[in-house]
Amino acid sequence: MPVIIHSTSNSSIKHPSSTTTTTPTTPPPIENSYPCSYSRGPIVPTRHLFKTIITITVGPHRVPFPVHRERFCAASPFFAAALNPAYAFRESDAAGIHLPAARPCDFEYLVQWIYTRALDHEELDDCGHPAYFRLIRLWMLADELQVVEGCKNAIVDAMARVADRTNSVPTPDDTRTVFGEGGVREGEGLRRLVVDLFAWKKTDQLVEAHEDSWDEHFMRLLVCKLKRMDVREKGRAPWRVDSERCRLYHEHSGQSTCGVMEAKK
């Protein structure tokens, strides 16, 4: 992610919604309520988190986001380095940074999570139009900016909830974002979740008849998944089981694990 000494101006960005709906079914209840901890990261006393306000500008129009430097440094090694006055590309303590490749709308969601540890933005939880692309882009931004692992875990859990609540799956465009060039790295939980959503939900007619093309690598992974699945496993969607969701889709740095995993040891 390029970093540039900041300059501010106002702008706004609008973005479309997307959804792909599968054959209506009633999904089984999900165990508990996604109890994994989303607050992992450096433990810093609250009084030290809200001292210095700096401005992060985002996108080609340099949309300004005034934030607390200490809060962002505690949430991300990227910001801890970029906002360190000792680094050569920093002109002064008062200067902010510019993220030219990021989208302001995505960064707004990220700012909300860093301050609240929640994904409560109305555009991320639209019951009528599940927009997976917003959650996917937010996951990729959190990954690029090295935001503490809880953010990405919360995003995959949100995607699983949206998929079951609306009985839908990501669109062909979403699969190209995740699995295409410059997408999510191999081995990441987000990739496994997208494949599993298609493998367990009734998506055969959707995949066959959709007018847009699906990502080639995604289709290869989906075929392999279906070929290897035991028919008896078909009714046990892993994202609906706390321990499996944690094991397959979450990140845990060092020795940390989600609370549900620790409780079941």
CA 74, CA 264: separation in Å to the nearest integer?
30
DSSP 3-52: -EE--------------EE-----PPPPSTT-------S----GGGSSS-
85 touches 5 (CB < 8 A): no
CA 151, CA 154: separation in Å to the nearest integer?
5
* CA nearest to 95, candidates 63, 52, 141: 52
DSSP run (H or E) holding 63? strand 63-68
Local confidence pLDDT in tens for the 265 residues of the chain: 555 534 333 333 334 444 555 444 444 444 434 445 444 445 555 656 677 889 999 999 999 999 998 899 889 999 988 887 776 444 334 468 899 999 999 999 999 999 998 887 766 665 556 789 999 999 999 999 999 878 999 999 999 999 998 899 999 999 999 999 999 999 999 999 999 999 999 898 999 999 999 999 999 999 999 888 875 556 678 888 888 888 899 988 754 556 544 444 4
- Neighbour count for residue 67 (Cβ, 10 Å): 21
